[in-house]
Amino acid sequence: MWSFSQIANEIHEWLSKTFNPTWTLIIEMVLAGVAVIGLFAVLGLILVIMERKVSAWIQIRLGPNRVGPKGLMQSMADTVKLMVKEGLTPTGADRIMFNVAPIIAMIVAMLLLAPIAFARNFQLWDLNIGVLYVSCVSSLMVISVLMAGWSSNNKYSLLGAMRSGAQIVSYELSAGLSILTIIVFVGDLQVSKIIASQETGWWIFKGHIPAIIAFITFLIAVTAETNRAPFDLAEAESELTAGFHTEYSGMKFALFFLAEYVNVFIVCAIGATLFLGGWMPFHIGNWTDFNHVMDYIPSSVWFFGKTFFLIFVIMWFRWTFPRLRIDQLLNLEWKYLLPISMINLLIATLMAIMGWHF
Amino acid sequence: MKHTVDKETTLLNESQAPFAGSGEVPYDRYGDTSAGIALGDGDFQINFGPQHPATHGVLHLVITLNGETIKKVEPHLGYIHRSIEKMCESLTYRQFIYVTSRMDYLSAHINNHACALAVEKGLQVEVPARAQVIRVLMDELTRIASHELWWGAMAMDLGAFTPFFHAFRERESINDIMEETCGARLTMNYMVPGGVMHDLHPNFQKRVKEFLQLYKRKIHEYDELVTGNVIFQNRMKGVGYLSAEDAIAYGVSGPSARGSGVSSDIRKLYPYEIYDKLEFDEVLEIAGDSFARYMVRINEMHQSIRIIEQLIDNIPEGDFQAKTKNVLKLPKGDFYTRVETARGELGVYIVSEGGNTPYRIKFRSPGFSNLSVLDHMARGSKIGDLVAMMGTLDLVIPDIDR
Amino acid sequence: MTNEELKIKLTELQPAATFQEGGEWVTINVEVADWLAFAGQLRQEEALFFDYLFCLTCVDWKTHLTMVYHFSSTKYRHNMVVKIKLDRNKPEVETVSHIWRTAEFHEREVYEMFGVNFLNHPDLRLLILPDGWEGKNPLRKDFDDPVNMIKL
């Protein structure tokens, strides 16, 4: 069957035949790098057009419909526009920090793509602490936001950055705890093993109520972590005009914008991996025939289907809910989500020890 | 929360106080120090506007903040001031009405109505019954359209984009009705002294009935999308509290005052046209917070629908305009009319010297007084609350600046 | 209270004041010197209870200025008008912003548009006009702006 892993293997075999092992490794690394950058750009384009179409659908209008067939080339046109725009640096800004901040945002987003399994046997780096790596690196995002806000020398930016700092640091906790719930069930941090453990069913079904609670907590927490509505206080445009990226323009702004969307993709991919089985098709226990039918759908379709479903849910949040206030936002985390996820983790641990899950 | 009669005996004459834009710290009238507050530790000022997404126009607020907490809000007006009052002094009584559409552009009909009433009061003209009914119908349609725009814009201030489009769906059909009869969608210029400019379009009744049906089918979406939302209620309840005493002392009128339990509907208290013969309720809420003001406006839309339903099948036949002279001359004296616009009480004060132009005209606009209470309301709340308060005060900047 | 009753009551408070006939509301002319005390009475006198100042403006009569205050009572629903004649060259009147808070903004508007100096006003600065307009009063009849004003 045609699949990503097959293509990757063929490329690898052809390179091994043509070059010596060192060169093969170097060329493969370059290819992987190009693939990540390409994926980064393509994801940004797709997610932007998707967001605009979803919002248009929710808001009873058509959305972009002029550039290309059904307006699908709109985000390409936007990219070109952003690239030719002047990237201003305000006079009072800290020049180095101001210019480095969007690059950090992009690097963080790119690093996060490494341990994600896009299809069966198709993963850049299956390191043994995969999930831990993701939660560590994703928390670096706040640094770029703080840098941008501080160096802009703008009070709106600073307010936005401080809000974002408080918010990301807080919500990291419940995101981490809900991830831990699944790790407790699996007993491993490696992404491939987490997916393999869902051979007999996805964790959201196998883990009973704790897994469902963890899934909901995770969704809320990652929405907050990626600064999206209803938690978009860092860039609350009706209060802070544009928050931390008020002073950014042109490509520097575009990098923040892209990084936001790629982050959304990554957190949804992690959510899909942990709770919905990643690329694993929909399997039910030992219904072997049923499982076999499900296997005919390629694993990449499963992965992207689940991920884009979660992305759609997050977009749905954004276009439906009003924004929270900063104190309500922190109350929600510290008074509700954190205790709930701690108790939930305790129950999950008990279940894992007793072997109550499927 | 009460200071209807303040004991500020040691007030200073601050006519030479520096303008905040000059870099000096503005004078604080409630502070302990007499010459102005020095910014405390961690305090800073930001310019909220004149170009800002939440001010819906060119309102400029200088906000003193401590972190996220508001210490003082100081409005700086005039970015869209056209001095309509001065312009009207050189326009005749037929002409000046059209300028007033540009004040509160969301209730242009009602502004025109107020001016027409003032001129009629001076001329002692009896308006035909048909014209009165048409005027009231148009007023109420305008009120619904205005409240719908407010609803969408306020939800957008709170971060929800979708309601704006849903509100515009219904508002568009009102605009279409207006366009058909008046020839314009925003600045209608339909009311003239003595009646209305021309008769209703033949389609009017049919279109209004279609609108009523559409509206009834869709109105529940408003509550499902916004009113019942937990986040929305948390953002609104207990925010921007305004007591009844303060509302009266600050001259707040319209739905903003009725949210505090102040009965202030001019249509009920000092009825004009045929409002005394109609059945409708004055919507009152007593909580005094942003949510109360929100509910007042939502329920006012229902009341307006009620009025339209009573009238739409009972438009009397007859003239749509009273016979008036070509050149209108008001007798010497003062004429004051009050009407209820979508935002509150609009007063038109005409001083006549007997000529064909007003000697002096004053528009008591609801927005101006409603804005003055913002500083009092906002102190001590978060900057996110400020947009909720501004949203529920329903500020229209050309109405404030005139 | 009807207009007649109001007149009787107001005459008790201000024997020197004159009433202007015509118009739907009682219109009383008050001296500048009496204004502050009279304003306090209007607000606090239980039978009057004029707690709602709904319009505050000024009229330039070329020879003098007239301050016009429109009052309403939210308790009794009666209305009245107070007029105060001011010297055009040195217009000064006591503020009422401590009695009716809404007067603060309206008085600032009158201050910049007519140049009326409100004594003891807490924050008498330009509200609508930008810097540099102190002393120029656009709504006075003799104000002239050859660039922006078009004579019809």
Non-local (6+) Cβ contacts of A132 within 8 A are A189
Question: Least CB-CB distance to A322: which of B165, B235, B382?
Answer: B235
Q: Can you tell me the distance from the alpha carbon of A220 to that of A342, in angstroms, rounded to the nearest whole number? A: 15
Go through chain A and tell me how many residues it has: 358
User: Cβ of B78 and C77 within 8 Å?
Assistant: no
Show residues of chain A in contact with B232, CB under 8 Å: 322
The distance between the two most distant Cα atoms of chain A, rounded to a whole number of Å, is: 67
Which chain B residue lies closest to A317 (C-alpha atoms)?
A: B160
Q: Can you tell me the distance from the alpha carbon of B114 to that of B349, in angstroms, rounded to the nearest whole number? A: 10
Show residues of chain A in contact with B225, CB under 8 Å: 320
Q: Can you tell me the distance from the alpha carbon of B218 to that of B169, in angstroms, rounded to the nearest whole number? A: 10
Non-local (6+) Cβ contacts of A357 within 8 A are A185, A206, A207, A208, A211, A351
Query: b/e string for A6-43 if b means 16 or more Cβ within 10 A?
Result: eebeeeeeebeeeeeeeebeeebeeeeeeebeebbeeb
Which chain B residue lies closest to C40 (C-alpha atoms)?
A: B5
Count contacts between B and C (CB, < 8 Å). 132
Q: Which amino acid is at A153?
A: N
Closest CA to A47 of A72, A19, A80, A69: A72
Question: Least CB-CB distance to C122: which of B3, B29, B368?
Answer: B29
Chains B and A touch each other (3 or more Cβ pairs < 8 A): yes
Cβ-contact A142, A169 below 8 angstroms: yes
Here the tokens at position B100 are 């007033």
Q: Which amino acid is at A340?
A: I
Query: b/e string for C92-125 if b means 16 or more Cβ within 10 A?
Result: ebbbbbbbbbbbbbbbbbbbbbbbbbbebbbbbb
Cβ-contact B89, B359 below 8 angstroms: yes
Minimum distance, in Å, between the CA of residue A324 and any CA atom of chain B: 6
Q: Can you tell me the distance from the alpha carbon of B157 to that of C73, in angstroms, rounded to the nearest whole number? A: 35
pLDDT of residue C152: 63
pLDDT of residue B13: 35
Write the DSSP string, A214-270. HHHHHHHHHHHHTT-TTS-GGG-HHHHTTGGGTT--HHHHHHHHHHHHHHHHHHHHH
Over chain B (402 residues), the average pLDDT of each successive run of 10 is: 36 35 37 46 79 81 84 85 86 87 87 89 87 89 90 86 86 88 86 86 88 85 83 86 87 88 86 86 86 90 89 86 83 87 89 86 89 86 85 86 82
Show residues of chain C in contact with B90, CB under 8 Å: 151-152
Minimum distance, in Å, between the CA of residue A146 and any CA atom of chain B: 16
Which chain B residue lies closest to C75 (C-alpha atoms)?
A: B263
B window 153-172, beta carbon within 8 A of A: 155-162, 164-166, 169
User: Cβ of A232 and B159 within 8 Å?
Assistant: yes
> Between the CA of residue A35 and those of A28, A114, A279, B12, B93, what are the distances in Å?
10, 11, 19, 71, 73
Cβ-contact B20, B26 below 8 angstroms: yes
Q: Which chains touch A (3 or more CB pairs under 8 A)?
A: B
Whether residue B40 lies within 8 A of chain A, CB to CB, comes out as no
Minimum distance, in Å, between the CA of residue B14 and any CA atom of chain C: 5
Residue of B45, B62, B161, B164 to mutate, testing the A interface (most A Cβ within 10 Å of its Cβ): B161
Show residues of chain B in contact with C59, CB under 8 Å: 351, 359-360
User: Cβ of A323 and B46 within 8 Å?
Assistant: no
Whether residue C22 lies within 8 A of chain B, CB to CB, comes out as yes
User: Please, which residues bridge with residue C117 across strands?
Assistant: C92
Minimum distance, in Å, between the CA of residue B243 and any CA atom of chain A: 23
pLDDT, tens digit, 9 for 90 and up, residues C13-33:
777 778 887 778 888 888 888
Whether residue C90 lies within 8 A of chain B, CB to CB, comes out as no
Q: Can you tell me the distance from the alpha carbon of A277 to that of A270, in angstroms, rounded to the nearest whole number? A: 10
Question: Least CB-CB distance to B53: which of A163, A241, A320?
Answer: A241
> Between the CA of residue C36 and those of C13, C31, C42, C100, what are the distances in Å?
13, 10, 10, 12
Cβ-contact B388, B394 below 8 angstroms: no
pLDDT, tens digit, 9 for 90 and up, residues C126-149:
888 888 777 788 888 888 777 777
- For the segment C30-38, the average pLDDT, to the nearest whole number, is 85
Write the DSSP string, B220-242. HHHIIIIIT-HHHHHHHTTSS--
Whether residue C43 lies within 8 A of chain B, CB to CB, comes out as yes
Residue-by-residue pLDDT tens, chain A, 358 positions: 456 777 778 888 888 888 888 888 888 888 888 888 888 888 888 888 888 888 888 888 888 888 878 888 888 888 888 888 887 888 888 888 888 888 888 888 888 888 888 877 777 778 888 888 888 888 888 888 888 888 888 888 888 888 888 888 888 888 888 888 888 888 888 888 888 888 887 888 787 788 888 899 999 988 888 888 788 877 777 777 777 888 888 888 888 888 888 888 888 988 888 888 878 788 777 777 877 787 788 888 888 888 999 999 998 888 888 888 888 888 888 999 899 999 998 988 888 888 777 6
User: Cβ of B360 and C99 within 8 Å?
Assistant: no
Q: Can you tell me the distance from the alpha carbon of A154 to that of A88, in angstroms, rounded to the nearest whole number? A: 14
What is the predicted ipTM? 0.88
User: Cβ of C74 and B8 within 8 Å?
Assistant: no
The three-point CA angle A299-A303-A307 to 5° equals 170
Per DSSP, C100 falls in state: S
Write the DSSP string, B142-197. HHHHHHHHHHHHHHHHTT--HHHHHHHHHHHHHHHHHHHHHS-SS----EETTEES
Q: Which amino acid is at C22?
A: G
Which chain B residue lies closest to C83 (C-alpha atoms)?
A: B334
Extended beta strands in chain C, E state: 18-20, 26-30, 52-60, 64-72, 79-87, 92-94, 117-119
Q: Which residue has the tokens 């693939």?
A: A35
Whether residue C81 lies within 8 A of chain B, CB to CB, comes out as yes
Here the tokens at position B244 are 């009844």
Question: Least CB-CB distance to C74: which of B5, B83, B248?
Answer: B248
Which chain C residue lies closest to B21 (C-alpha atoms)?
A: C131
Show residues of chain B in contact with A233, CB under 8 Å: 384
User: Cβ of A328 and B54 within 8 Å?
Assistant: no
Minimum distance, in Å, between the CA of residue B235 and any CA atom of chain A: 7
Cβ-contact A231, A192 below 8 angstroms: no
For residue A230, cis peptide bond before it (omega within 30 degrees of 0): yes
Report how many helices (DSSP H) and strands (DSSP E) chain B contains, helices first: 15, 8
Cβ-contact B59, B50 below 8 angstroms: yes
Q: Inter-axis angle of helices A21-58 and A4-18, to 10 degrees?
A: 150
Q: Inter-axis angle of helices B108-123 and B129-157, to 10 degrees?
A: 150
Minimum distance, in Å, between the CA of residue B138 and any CA atom of chain C: 26
Question: Least CB-CB distance to B248: which of C52, C55, C119?
Answer: C52
Question: Least CB-CB distance to B46: which of A59, A156, A322?
Answer: A156
Q: Can you tell me the distance from the alpha carbon of C114 to that of C137, in angstroms, rounded to the nearest whole number? A: 5
Whether residue B218 lies within 8 A of chain A, CB to CB, comes out as no
User: What's the alpha-carbon Rg for chain B, to the nearest Å?
Assistant: 22
Chains A and C touch each other (3 or more Cβ pairs < 8 A): no
Other CB atoms within a 10 A radius of the CB of residue A196 amount to: 14
Q: Can you tell me the distance from the alpha carbon of C79 to that of A277, in angstroms, rounded to the nearest whole number? A: 74
Whether residue C47 lies within 8 A of chain B, CB to CB, comes out as no
Q: Can you tell me the distance from the alpha carbon of C30 to that of B297, in angstroms, rounded to the nearest whole number? A: 40
User: Cβ of C124 and B21 within 8 Å?
Assistant: no
pTM of the model: 0.83
User: Cβ of B13 and C22 within 8 Å?
Assistant: no
Minimum distance, in Å, between the CA of residue A231 and any CA atom of chain B: 9
Which chain C residue lies closest to B34 (C-alpha atoms)?
A: C122
User: Cβ of B17 and C125 within 8 Å?
Assistant: yes
Show residues of chain B in contact with C139, CB under 8 Å: 83, 85-86
Question: Least CB-CB distance to B162: which of A59, A238, A326?
Answer: A59
Minimum distance, in Å, between the CA of residue C121 and any CA atom of chain B: 6
Whether residue C119 lies within 8 A of chain B, CB to CB, comes out as yes
Which chain C residue lies closest to B17 (C-alpha atoms)?
A: C125
Show residues of chain A in contact with B218, CB under 8 Å: none
Whether residue A328 lies within 8 A of chain B, CB to CB, comes out as yes
Here the tokens at position A37 are 């950058």
